[in-house]
Amino acid sequence: MDLNTFSVLKNIRVLYVEDDAATREELAEILTFWVKDLEVASNGQTGLELFSRQPHDIVVTDIQMPTMNGLAMSTEMRRLSPHQPILVLSAYNDVEYLFHAIELGISYYVTKPVNVEHLLGKMTEIAEGLVAKQEKLRNQKLLEQYRQLVDASAIVSKFDPQGRISYVNDRFCELSGYDQHALNGIEIRHMRHPEEPKDISGKIWQSVVDGNQWAGIVKKQTRSGAMYVVDSSIVPILNQDNSVEEVVCLDVDITDIYLNYENMLESLTRSERSLHEQRHLLDEYKRVLELGASILVIDPDGRIQAVNLRLASMLGYEIKDLCERSLSEIVPVDYSTCFQKTTQAIDGHCSQVIPFIHQNRSERIFSVNFMSVHDLHGQINAIILSCQDVTEPLRLTREIVETQRELLLVLGEVVESRSQETGKHVYRVAEIAHLLALEYGLDREQAEILKTAAPMHDIGKVGIDDAILHKPGKLNSDEFEIMKTHAEIGHHILTRIDRPLLSIAARIAYEHHENFDGSGYPQGLKGAEISIEGRIIAIADVLDALGHARVYKAAWDDTAIRDYLITQRGRKFDPVLVDLTLKHWDAIADIRQNLSDI
């Protein structure tokens, strides 16, 4: 165990609630070593009283306790502090409680008996989230101060999506010669100087209201008709639906600088043609550089010609360390397709999400826009990469998916434990289903979703009486009818929570006992009426169940299982899936071996 992994716990306060004295004393002794401050309670009522007296960063609680159970206590805690992080310790028979916990918005679970390293890992994950949240609040305060500073020093204007002014600050009024009342409701095009191309109020504005930022030099006119020039940054502000709610424009007055620059370029252009060529290339670079702040320039052979300080710093390098190196040295994937698209047209560009290797060998993910720069003859002079770091958003997305995946596996294990079935059954079914999904032709994302949802196929068994569930012999007709209801029970449980993964899981729970010839239950679906997810889980579940002993049967050998699949081809199982299963039998055997219960 790497002690540094859990060092963040040294700064947090924890409330631990557990009714079992032996478990409580043992775990409290361990937690005391790791956390800044630990308070312990033996029941939910005492835990709630301690929580009410002072805040705690994390609450760790058992579910079933006397006086007040863990979920009742958590409900009251969430009423006092809606975003309180709560970690639930759950036993195999806590399934119904776990669904109540999901409805409460609790996202952290550890199964009993508790693996200490796993528990500390979960607490570390929560603590790191708290640190990030505190940093976010600090940044929000700083942002508000920056906003006030910008408003006091920059030329600020706001527009509605139709391009009408909704706000200007005093500096805008001073420069333009208008007062705020006169500007309210004026369209942006009326502020454009006649020499300015109409794109600023046409194509560029349309790009902004489509959600894209824009930056560049703009010529405007004052109330008296005089020209002034600003370095303008136009940023769309999105609402919760990702629609543009308003547009903010920050301007810096560069009129004097611009006029001097124009005079100088005019003089140079008249002097000799080579300088005209330089000016053209300068304009080309400027056009692209204005589209992003993290910039890398490569030649047509993929060798780095220039990189700005922002991107070099993000990758842990100095600028001189990157120049003249091949891009492939810091980009470990094939980007040639995007590169080729970029070079095919004079105005060509292409976007791609690409990993970059940091100087410390870690990986950072960027959304990269490849843009070509051409000389006066239309030949490719360079490719400019405008890079936006998307590492953190992708990490958060993966964490959300992984949390849902882990929760479904935990619940699947709970069901299998109650059914007294093999402990790794849900893992094997998930892996076999993943393999068959890919071989059937589903894309990787669909196959991953199926793998994640698969452990929930028998969740409905929580509603079946133990006497039927654990009966060592064959069920009679009445008992079998009751057992069949687990498909509908599972569907009902999983449709109570509106989450995409659980929606797929609900479909699987409902359909995994449907037969290809229509003789299955509960709906009697036939052929393609059964979802591909239901058809895949049906064969993966039966295949693995036959190969392991249950309370009502002995394990079958591989020959018997293969023969059974062949006899049920087109009857119980999709014939295409049976053929794929037999074709990839060795790979499936490896999954069963690697995830054996021994």
pLDDT band at 216 (very low <50, low <70, confident <90, very high): confident
Name the residue type at position 78: R
Instruction: Retrieve residue 514's tokens.
Output: 């449907």
Q: What does the angle CA 177 – CA 178 – CA 179 come to, to the nearest 5 degrees?
A: 130
**Average pLDDT score over residue span 524-540:** 95
| Three-class DSSP category at 26 | helix
* Delimiting residues of CATH 3.30.450.20 domain(s) in the chain: 154-254, 272-389
Lowest pLDDT segment from 75-79, 190-194, 519-523: 190-194
Instruction: Report the run of H or E that residue 372 belongs to, with start and end.
Output: strand 363-374
To which residue do tokens 């005019």 refer?
266
- Measure the CA–CA gap between 275 and 201, rounded to whole angstroms: 32
**Average pLDDT score over residue span 96-121:** 82
**Distance (Å) of CA 99 to CA 65, 96, 485:** 17, 5, 19
- Measure the CA–CA gap between 100 and 366, rounded to whole angstroms: 39
pLDDT band at 267 (very low <50, low <70, confident <90, very high): very low
Write down the pLDDT at residue 286: 52
- Measure the CA–CA gap between 511 and 515, rounded to whole angstroms: 9
Instruction: Retrieve residue 418's tokens.
Output: 């109650």
Lowest pLDDT segment from 276-280, 392-396, 435-439, 502-506: 276-280
- The Cβ of residue 213 has, within 10 Å, a number of other Cβ atoms equal to 15
**Distance (Å) of CA 326 to CA 89, 300, 303, 349:** 51, 11, 4, 20
**Distance (Å) of CA 156 to CA 229, 245, 249, 300:** 14, 17, 6, 40
**Average pLDDT score over residue span 536-551:** 88
- Measure the CA–CA gap between 545 and 577, rounded to whole angstroms: 17
Instruction: Retrieve residue 429's tokens.
Output: 């079914």
Q: Which CATH architecture has domain 394-594?
A: Orthogonal Bundle (1.10)
Q: What does the angle CA 98 – CA 103 – CA 108 come to, to the nearest 5 degrees?
A: 55
**Average pLDDT score over residue span 175-196:** 84
Instruction: Retrieve residue 96's tokens.
Output: 């119904």
Lowest pLDDT segment from 130-134, 142-146, 505-509, 529-533: 142-146
Name the residue type at position 525: L
Instruction: Retrieve residue 277's tokens.
Output: 């060529």
Q: Is 105 within 8 Å of 83 (Cβ atoms)?
A: no
- Measure the CA–CA gap between 48 and 56, rounded to whole angstroms: 11
**Distance (Å) of CA 56 to CA 15, 31, 63, 128, 436:** 6, 14, 19, 15, 47
**Average pLDDT score over residue span 410-433:** 70
- The Cβ of residue 332 has, within 10 Å, a number of other Cβ atoms equal to 11
Whole-number mean pLDDT of the chain?
82
For 154-254, CATH gives: 3.30.450.20
Q: Which of 477-481, 485-489, 515-519 has the highest mean pLDDT?
A: 515-519
- Measure the CA–CA gap between 574 and 596, rounded to whole angstroms: 26
The greatest distance separating any two alpha carbons of the chain, rounded to the nearest whole angstrom, comes to 102
Which residues, at least 6 apart from 95, have a Cβ–Cβ distance to it below 8 Å? 411, 414, 415, 418, 459, 462
For residue 128, which of 1, 3, 5, 2 has the smallest C-alpha distance? 5
Q: Which CATH architecture has domain 272-389?
A: 2-Layer Sandwich (3.30)
pLDDT band at 38 (very low <50, low <70, confident <90, very high): very high
- Name the superfamily (CATH) of residues 3-137: Response regulator (3.40.50.2300)
Write down the pLDDT at residue 388: 79
**What would the pLDDT profile of 16-34 be if each residue is shown by its tens digit?**
999 999 999 999 999 999 9
| Three-class DSSP category at 214 | strand
* Delimiting residues of CATH 3.40.50.2300 domain(s) in the chain: 3-137
**Average pLDDT score over residue span 168-182:** 86
- Measure the CA–CA gap between 166 and 248, rounded to whole angstroms: 10
Peptide bond into 332 cis (omega under 30): no
**Average pLDDT score over residue span 457-486:** 86
pLDDT band at 144 (very low <50, low <70, confident <90, very high): low
Write down the pLDDT at residue 292: 44
Instruction: Report the run of H or E that residue 416 belongs to, with start and end.
Output: helix 391-418
Instruction: Write out the E strands in 171-323.
Output: 214-221, 227-238, 244-253, 295-298, 304-307
- Measure the CA–CA gap between 386 and 370, rounded to whole angstroms: 7
